[in-house]
Amino acid sequence: MIKPSVEMQETSRGANENAGVWAVGNGLVSTTLVTYFAQSIGAGSGVVSWIIAAPKLVGVLRWFAPYLLKLGGGYRVTSIVAFLLSTLFLLLLPLCALPDMWPSTTWALTSLVVCWCLYHLAEYCGFVVFIAWLVQLVPNHMRGRFFGLRERWLTAGKLSGYLFAGILAATLRDAFAIDMRWISYPFLAIYGAIAMAVSVFPLKRIPEPLSSNQTHSSFFEDLKHWQNPRAYWFLLYGTWFSAANGLFSTLLYIYPYRGLDISLLLPMLVLAFMQLGQSVISRPAGVAIDRFGWRPVMIFGQVLVALGPLLFSFGTAGYVAGNLIWIAYALINVALPIAVVDGRSDSSAGPPLALYFAWTGLVYGLTALLGWTVANEFVDPKSLNDPVAYRGYFIAATMARLSAVVPLLLLPAESRSDK
């Protein structure tokens, strides 16, 4: 454990600078943008479901991310290599848009999904190692404020990325004929990759954990973490919420493009305002977590975010309001890594993080593929241009997300000290 002194300040500064710059790139290359891109070159609902689901399916491999450290690179090197690999795959994404690059649209869309998956897999592995690194350096009683401040930098960076993406996409949309509007999306992918590559430089500020904290247990020993009641109730929450999100995800991306017929500018602006709101409340959320614990903060956030799809059913204004209420995701995002590690402050924090995100990602991916079938049950594919047809779907999506609060209510008292 490092002292809350110069080293702690350097850790915070490096983590926050990395978060801010990386988030600009992430905002430029959002799932919304990629689904717009895919639809502009001929993708249907099925391909959109794969774009949403496939990264989560391959993301199950992040379960083994902590064991990459056994290669001897340490936390800093492992994180940097993983993040740089993710930018490489992101740079390959624009090749999927070149009309003469592939024999058919099917080939182009398949290559797009593959690059999208590999980009996420490398990013996921880097994220698990990076958070496990930070957890070893930050005392448990300070983690709420630390991750709250980092979340503020993340949301501020995404805000900038979303605004730039929306404005550039809208400008290029009017500059090209309808069948050429896809050109704007590859540019955004390139800019996003450059920003993400630059974000690794601040990681040099962050010290490596003490060597005594870097011992690694076996895979089966790590599974024992999930045998205690608190851990499996929380894993049930993650499973439940991920399934609810996955089953009712497809039409959330199709609705603005088909149902509301709005350009990418409005979704990007709405996402930008959502990130602004998250940036504002992230730090106070961290303070509340340090004072009251992560569970009450997380329950409150879960109830609020569940209402988003219900608001979508009220047309364009409802779509805006639904995204703005998702400002409450900041409460969940700040609390989540603190909840998963459950007070751990050594290398044993890595495997629980890896398993939680791998498992919940797999659940989300599998259910997102089923989400295409669920979408067709609620909305006839011929009615996708009618916004009224989505109302039943949005009500069901709200109820599914709201019910995920039950495991959090049943979860035993949380740990408030380092282990």
The pLDDT tens digits of the residues spanning 89-112 come to 988 887 776 667 788 878 888 888
Residue 114 included in any domain: yes
pLDDT at position 413, please? Answer: 61
Residue 346 is given by DSSP the state S
Residue 212 included in any domain: no
What Cα–Cα distance (Å) separates residue 264 from each residue in 40, 193, 311?
11, 20, 20
Residue 415 included in any domain: no
Q: How many CB atoms lie within 10 A of CB 419?
A: 12
pTM reported for the whole predicted model: 0.69
The pLDDT tens digits of the residues spanning 341-380 come to 765 655 566 677 778 888 888 898 888 888 878 888 888 8
Dihedral sign (CA 206, 212, 213, 214): positive
| Backbone angles phi and psi of 35, in degrees to 5 | -70, -35
Of 391, 366, 387, 369, the residue nearest 378 (C-alpha): 391
Q: Are 285 and 148 in contact (CB under 8 A)?
A: yes
CATH number of the domain enclosing 329:
1.20.1250.20
pLDDT at position 414, please? Answer: 58
Residue 55 included in any domain: yes
Confidence of residue 237 (pLDDT cuts 50, 70, 90): very high
pLDDT at position 400, please? Answer: 94
Residue 260 is given by DSSP the state S
Comparing 44-48, 279-283, 346-350, 388-392, the range with the smallest average pLDDT is 346-350
One-letter amino acid at 409 equals L
pLDDT at position 348, please? Answer: 63
Q: Are 382 and 176 in contact (CB under 8 A)?
A: no
pLDDT at position 39, please? Answer: 77
Q: Are 107 and 48 in contact (CB under 8 A)?
A: no
Confidence of residue 418 (pLDDT cuts 50, 70, 90): very low
Counted domains in the chain:
1
Q: How many residues does the chain have?
A: 419
**Which range has highest mean pLDDT (97-106, 111-120, 138-147)?**
111-120
One-letter amino acid at 414 equals E
Q: How many CB atoms lie within 10 A of CB 403?
A: 13
Confidence of residue 405 (pLDDT cuts 50, 70, 90): very high
Residue 328 included in any domain: yes
Helix, strand or coil, per DSSP, at residue 134: helix
pLDDT at position 97, please? Answer: 66
Residue 28 included in any domain: yes
pLDDT at position 226, please? Answer: 60
Q: Which domain holds residue 175?
A: 6-197+224-410
The pLDDT tens digits of the residues spanning 58-83 come to 888 887 777 777 776 788 898 999 99
The pLDDT tens digits of the residues spanning 33-59 come to 788 777 777 777 778 878 877 887 888
pLDDT at position 182, please? Answer: 60
Q: How many CB atoms lie within 10 A of CB 212?
A: 8
Residue 203 included in any domain: no
The pLDDT tens digits of the residues spanning 155-172 come to 888 888 877 877 776 676
Locate 153 and state its tokens: 């930098």
Report how far residue 155's alpha carbon sits from residue 362's, in angstroms, rounded to the nearest whole number. 25
pLDDT at position 1, please? Answer: 41
The radius of gyration of the chain's CA atoms, rounded to the nearest angstrom, is 21
Residue 206 included in any domain: no
Helix, strand or coil, per DSSP, at residue 71: helix
pLDDT, mean of residues 118-145: 86
Mean pLDDT of the chain: 81
pLDDT, mean of residues 372-399: 87
pLDDT at position 172, please? Answer: 65
